[in-house]
Chain A
Amino acid sequence: MLRDRLSRRDWTKLASAGALGGSMSNWFGALADDAVQHPERKRSVILLWMAGGPSQTDTFDLKPGHSNGGPFKEIETNVPGVKIGEHLPKVSRHVDKMAIIRSMSTKENEHERATFHLRTGYQPSGPVQFPPLGALMSKELGDDNAALPSFISIAPFTVLSPAAFSSGFLEPRYAPLLVGANAFRQSSNYEQTLKVQDLVRPGEVNDKQADARLGLLKGLEKDFAEGHPGVVAVSHQTAYERATRLMGSAAAKAFELDEEKDALRDAYGRNLFGQGCLLARRLIERGVNFVEVTLFDVPGAQGWDTHQRNFDLLPRLCQVLDPAWSTLLRDLKDRGLLDTTLIIWMGEFGRTPRINRDSGRDHFAAAWSAVLAGGGIKGGQVYGKTTADGNSVEENPVSVPDFMCTIVRALGIDPTKQNMSNVGRPIRLADAGSKPIQEVLA
């Protein structure tokens, strides 16, 4: 059989080049005719990952006057007719850059499975190691020779679904570089937390000694590669070269946040998420293609998982989110990066419109909100609508595959493009049958 003779990489290469298109039409369907509208335009992504699942009823889809609505009020935004929650006053000044999707309708309402679902675009099923969006986009957009890895995940809470923070079935070089992973109650110690793990060599080893060590290692690598030519030895050499380059590179200066003006640092918020957003901008500036910042560690809250005391915790979470997100949008715009940077705001699901007896809201996948902003997005609009009680979608439901498809298309990439999976079955960037939301695309 063909696949006996072709390595997986060759197979994928051929497949993406369309060489197998004719004979394998089942799998390698015709490339969409209107695909890749701006192939020359490399875009970047910042994913603001709201771990725990934020309440749409208190942020972007308020239900004033309904018993589900709760105590929070709506406020005007800089787009006439569009209103959002009162705890996002700074963000309300940037709605002209945003497409607010109020009709997310997804299938998983348990943290672990939903985290996997929203981050990969696929429901977890059996042994298929679906890669997260960041790994997929890192492969599509990244430059293998760059000093910085093309997928960097800031302050992630990976324990819920480590697989959703891996390279999945893609090669390990597309795995995220994790910065400040699982930093519980470390929010105040953000300066240390926002450093790359193990980037700095031990203090007592000076430059000369470090070079000597690398010299010895090079000799050992060479000897091994002579006896064992092949991908294992090459990949070892490549990874060490890239890691060493990163350790000594000017690009690693991205992590030195004290280079920034105090006023700007204050504007982002002096906390893990705020400074993480600032770091994201510095990384995007230096050519990193996909950066995600997780909002989880806020004193008193476990991310957005507000089963209890929702109306007490939500303002605290928004106090972190509001300055960081709004400053990020302004900062990107000031630097001319907004047009080429797509900003995604989402969690793994929303929360029940119904308020439970602990003044909390529970997991809710049926009708919730996500926001796209910046590059490739037609801002200043609301897409989709929920019912008066918020319990279901009334207009334009958006599934996870459709949402992914929209993101991929906004980046100028063909969503039907496929990668060979670990089970020998090619998998599309966005699940078969998905469609982009045309209204949302610029």
Chain B
Amino acid sequence: MTRHRMGFVAVFVFIAAASLSASAEDDEQKLADRIDELIGAKLADANIEPALPADDATFYRRLSLDVAGKIPASAEARKFLSDTRQDKRRQAIDRLLDGPGYGIHFANVWAGLMVPEIDDGFQKQALVASLSRWMRQQLDENVAYDKWVREVVAFPLENNSEGGGNEFFNNTGPTTPTAFYQSKMGKPENIAASVVRVFLGVRIECAQCHDHPFASWKRDQFWGQAAFFAGVRRPANQMGDFFIGTPLMELKDRRELIIPGTDRVVQPVFLDGKEPQWKYQASARATFADWMTAKENPFFARTAVNRLWGQLFGIGIVEPVDDFSTENKPSHPELLDELAKQFAEHSFDLKFVMRAICLSKTYQQSSVYAGPSKPQTRVFASMPVKGLSADQIFDSLIQATGNRDNSRGNSNRFGAINSPKSTFQQKFAPQEKRTEFQTSIPQALALMNNPLIATQTHPDKGDTLAAIASAPYLDTAGKVESLYIAALSRRPTEQESCRLVSYVDQGGNDREKKKALSDVFWALLNSPEFLFNH
């Protein structure tokens, strides 16, 4: 009973605090407060006490990984920790969203969604590189979401000269989203399935062969979507049928499709059952794009904000994030509606929604839950622990160790086979549930013994390590602190510092001390605190 009451009081304070700051003028803060109100109400209903707020270091590291795709540099982390301004978290959110890291990281995220892992063949890596180059442009310029999605879906394919061999593999052609179509081999059914899944959050492809038993999608509805893409053609190419970069063509007036293996002809029909109104000389895809990106489309904005939420919390309001259906209910329907409405009202500005979520107390909660039993992830009573992508891990290792690597954000060439980055990409393939990330043996071996780690945890060869270990102005405690900031973006606790200082000093001579410092750094880089976002 006591716990019951305490929980109630805490939630009350949580909500009161939220409504207090609602007096702030700006829309981002208002939406952030609304998030906290709706999450808080559910917690109050269930008598669940939320976790405490995350401390500054945890927040900044989390934000940096989520927005810019890597941990902060030591200097940045120190600056943030010693910043005394009241609004420093807000400033950090703005700074990171407007910095180059956002475009680099989210170009990887969106390109990965449009050409998912399953399509990740040798040639398709070149497509991902091409697509993320185009995505980067959209994100750097903060092009409105509806606008760039419309361009993906309606991009004219005729007179598209991209796709010569060298141009394709070096990714030096014009920057376009055509790689998306090439990755689907120009097949209308593959294009439709992907568009509908990525941008409308609906897995309709299961209805390709038969009516979907779990959801209400029917086979004809699937082919009704595919028919919008019926004009896309993949002509024969002198480089052979297997060459995935084959330029595509389009027959603009083709608006019907025969279901393969049958003699049934299908006309395009929208998912909501409405018949399209054709416009003069507009392709069927353009008509589809108009319907899809319309403010009134109930799926479009919801799918996007749910993806952003899932990206930031590791788990969507609707989860899996691409499975909107009557059977798969959102955890917080009102919140989803509110985020979607605000997103559409703010010109489909992705950064607006990101900003609001990151400002919320819900996002800024600790990942440590102090209560006796941890509530299920979907009530968002604490920040879930999230696995990192291969890019996040690799880029963070580079950041922490000071290793020189210029591959970040360089999508002009896809990574060389067996390069340090590609070995990490191979070992850290995306996992479906980031909040249940599983570490594998090859991952552990790579992090313990990989040449990159071996060099960077060598007392004389490691860039960050050697600099810290031989810094004359730092005592052992200062050195340990510097290693903590480099790897974990925080200062060690007093207890940690004590333990490690005595570990290092017992080494005796300078040589032994340096070696002991390398052990500390090695352990930090292999620790779950480094390898996960929390």
Q: Could you tell me the distance between the alpha carbons of A202 and B449 in the complex, rounded to whole angstroms?
A: 6
**Contact B445–A196 (Cβ < 8 Å):** yes
A residues adjacent to B (C-beta < 8 A): 1, 26-27, 110-112, 124-129, 149, 158-163, 166-167, 169, 171-173, 175, 177-178, 181-182, 184, 196-202, 204, 209, 212-213, 216-217, 219-221, 223-225, 227-233, 235-236, 238-240, 242-244, 246-247, 363, 422-425
Instruction: Assess whether B121 is in contact with A162, with CB atoms less than 8 Å apart.
Output: yes
* In the complex, B528 has a CB within 8 A of chain A: yes
A1 touching B327, Cβ below 8 Å: yes
Total of A-B residue pairs, C-beta within 8 Å = 193
Task: Tell me which residues from 322 to 374 in chain B have a Cβ below 8 Å from any Cβ of chain A.
Answer: 322-323, 327, 367-368, 374
Q: Is B446 an interface residue (CB 8 A)?
A: yes
Please measure, in the bound complex, the distance between the C-alpha atom of A423 and the C-alpha atom of B499, giving whole angstroms. 47
Residue pair A127, B374 in contact (C-beta under 8 Å): no
Starting from the known contacts A159-B417, A232-B437, 6 additional A-B residue pairs (CB-CB under 8 Å) come to A126-B205, A128-B118, A184-B417, A232-B387, A232-B438, A423-B323
Measured between C-beta atoms, what is the minimum distance from A198 to chain B in Å? 4
Residues of B within 8 A of A163 (CB): 117-118, 120
Q: Which residues on the B side are within 8 Å of A202 (C-beta)?
A: 449, 454, 457-458
Q: A422 vs B436: C-alpha distance in the bound complex, in angstroms?
A: 13
Do A224 and B528 touch (CB < 8 A)? yes
Question: Of A201, A213, A235, A243, which contacts B438 at CB under 8 A?
Answer: A235
Q: Are B121 and A217 in contact (CB under 8 A)?
A: no
Q: What CA separation (Å) do A129 and B429 show in the bound complex?
A: 12
A187 to chain B, nearest CB (A): 16
Q: Which 3 A-B pairs have the closest CB atoms?
A: A216-B523, A243-B444, A239-B439
- Give the distance in Å from the alpha carbon of A112 to the alpha carbon of B120 in the complex: 9
Contact call A239/B441, Cβ cutoff below 8 A: yes
* Of A111, A182, A243, the contact of B445 (CB 8 Å cutoff): A243
- Looking at A125, A202, A204, A232, which has the most chain B CB atoms within 10 Å of its CB? A232
Bound complex: CA A149 to CA B444 (Å): 13
Q: Which of A125, A161, A172, A246 contacts B431 (CB 8 A)?
A: A172
Which residues, 475 to 528 on B, are CB-close (under 8 Å) to A? 499-500, 503, 515-516, 519-520, 522-524, 526-528
Contacts of A26 in B (CB 8 A): 213
Q: Does B116 contact A (CB under 8 A)?
A: yes
Interface centre among A27, A112, A200 (most CB of B within 10 A): A112
In the complex, the answer to whether B449 meets A201 with C-beta atoms within 8 Å is: yes
Q: How many Å lie between the Cα of A236 and that of B429 in the bound state?
A: 16
Decide yes or no whether B432 CB sits under 8 A from chain A: yes
Annotate B425-453 by CB proximity to A: 1 below 8 A, 0 otherwise: 01001011001111111111110111000
CB pair A198–B449 under 8 Å, yes or no, is: yes
- Chain B 6-56 residues near chain A, CB threshold 8 A: none
**Bound complex: CA of A212 vs CA of B520, how far in Å?**
9
Query: Considering the chains assembled together, what is the distance between the CA atoms of A424 and B214 in angstroms?
Result: 10
Instruction: Say yes or no: A235-B450 contact (C-beta < 8 A), given A169-B432, A204-B458, A209-B515.
Output: no
Contact of A177 among B213, B320, B441 (CB under 8 A): B441
**28 A-B contacts, Cβ less than 8 Å apart?**
A110-B242, A112-B121, A112-B122, A112-B242, A125-B205, A126-B190, A126-B206, A126-B208, A158-B426, A159-B122, A163-B120, A171-B438, A172-B439, A198-B442, A216-B500, A216-B519, A217-B522, A219-B523, A220-B527, A220-B529, A232-B385, A235-B438, A240-B439, A242-B441, A243-B445, A243-B448, A423-B206, A423-B323
In the complex the two chains form, what is the Cα distance from A204 to B461 in whole Å? 12
- A8, chain B: closest CB distance, angstroms: 8
Q: Which residues of B contact A204 (CB under 8 A)?
A: 458
Contact partners of B123 in chain A: CB under 8 A: 112
Secondary structure of the B contact surface, majority rule: helix
Residue of B118, B119, B214, B438 touching A172 (CB-CB under 8 A): B438
Q: In the complex, A159→B286 CA distance in Å?
A: 35
A254 to chain B, nearest CB (A): 15
User: B417 and A232: CB pair below 8 A?
Assistant: no
B531 contacts the other chain (CB 8 A): yes
Q: How far is the CA of A236 from the CA of B431 in the complex (A)?
A: 15
Q: In the assembled complex, how far is the CB of residue A176 from the closest CB belonging to chain B, in whole angstroms?
A: 9
CA–CA, A217 to B322, complex, Å?
A: 37
Nearest-Cβ distance from residue A196 to partner chain B, whole angstroms: 7
Measured CA separation A158–B387 after assembly (Å):
24
Nearest-neighbour CB distance to chain B for A156, whole angstroms, equals: 11
Contact across chains for B524 and A125 when beta carbons are under 8 A apart: no
- In the complex, the answer to whether B529 meets A236 with C-beta atoms within 8 Å is no
CB under 8 Å from chain A, chain B span 210-242: 213-214, 241-242
Q: Taking the complex as formed, is B110 at the interface, i.e. its CB lies under 8 A from any CB of chain A?
A: no
How distant is A347 from chain B, measured CB to nearest CB, in Å? 15
CA distance A160 to B449 in the complex (A): 27
Give the nearest-CB partner of B209 in chain A: A125
Say yes or no: A423-B438 contact (C-beta < 8 A), given A124-B118, A162-B426, A197-B446.
Answer: no
For B450, the chain A residues whose CB sits under 8 A away are 198
Contact of A424 (CB < 8 Å), options: B241, B323, B426, B516: B323
Q: Are A228 and B519 interface neighbours, CB within 8 A? A: no
Q: Interface residue tally of chain B, by bracket? A: 35 or more
**CB-defined interface of B304-317 with A at 8 Å, one 1/0 digit per residue?**
00000000000000
Is the CB–CB distance between B323 and A240 below 8 Å?
no
Distance in Å from the Cβ of B337 to the closest Cβ of chain A? Answer: 20
Most buried by A among B123, B443, B449: B449
Q: Name the residue of chain A whose CB is nearest to the CB of B418.
A: A182
A161 touches B213 (CB 8 A): no
Report which of B241, B327, B440, B522 forms a contact with A173, defined as CB distance below 8 A: B440
Q: Does B193 contact A (CB under 8 A)?
A: yes
Q: How far is the CA of A425 from the CA of B210 in the complex (A)?
A: 14
Contact (A126, B529) CB under 8 Å given A172-B431, A232-B435, A232-B437: no
Q: A213 to B523, Cβ gap below 8 A?
A: yes
Do the beta carbons of A228 and B442 come within 8 Å of each other?
no
The answer on a CB contact under 8 Å between A235 and B439 is yes
Q: How far is the CA of A236 from the CA of B439 in the complex (A)?
A: 5
Decide yes or no whether B421 CB sits under 8 A from chain A. Answer: no
Smallest CB-CB separation from B439: which chain A residue?
Answer: A239
Does B203 lie at the interface of the complex (its beta carbon under 8 Å from any beta carbon of A)? yes
What residues of B have a CB within 8 angstroms of the CB of A171 in the complex? Answer: 438
Instruction: Pick from B117, B437, B529: contact of A129, CB below 8 A.
Output: B117
CB neighbours (8 Å) of A238 from chain B are 439
Interface contact A127-B118, CB-CB below 8 Å: yes
Contacts A172-B438, A209-B519, A239-B443: A220 and B528 contacting too (C-beta < 8 A)? yes
Minimal Cβ-Cβ distance residue in A for B417: A182
B436 touching A231, Cβ below 8 Å: yes
- How distant is the Cα of A35 from the Cα of B522 in the complex, in angstroms? 50
Assuming the contacts A159-B121, A236-B528, asked whether A127 and B440 have C-beta atoms less than 8 A apart, the reply is no
Chain B residues with Cβ below 8 Å from A235 are: 437-439
What are the residues of chain B within 8 A of A128 when measuring CB–CB? 118
A228 partner, pick from B208, B241, B368, B443, beta carbons under 8 A:
B368
CA A199 to CA B121, docked complex, whole Å = 27
Contact across chains for B367 and A228 when beta carbons are under 8 A apart: yes
A236 to B214, CA, bound (A): 34
- Inter-chain CA distance A232–B439, complex, in Å, is 8
Nearest CB on B from A404, distance (A) = 18
Which B residue's beta carbon lies closest to that of A126? B205
A173 vs B116: C-alpha distance in the bound complex, in angstroms?
A: 21
Interface string of B106-128 (1 = CB under 8 A from A): 00000000001111111110000
**Nearest-neighbor residue (CB-CB) of B516 within chain A:** A212
Residues of A within 8 A of B442 (CB): 175, 177-178, 197-198
CB within 8 Å for A172 and B121 given contacts A127-B116, A232-B528, A236-B528: no
Which of B119, B121, B374, B450 has its CB near the most chain A CB atoms (within 10 A)? B121
Q: Is the CB of B205 within 8 A of A197?
A: no
Residues of B contacting A236 in the complex (Cβ-Cβ under 8 angstroms): 439, 528, 531-532
Residue of B205, B441, B442, B520 most packed against chain A (CB within 10 A): B441
Task: Give the residues from 384 to 439 in chain B that come closer than 8 angstroms, CB to CB, to chain A.
Answer: 385, 387, 417-418, 423, 426, 429, 431-432, 435-439
**Contact indicator A231/B206 (Cβ below 8 Å):** no
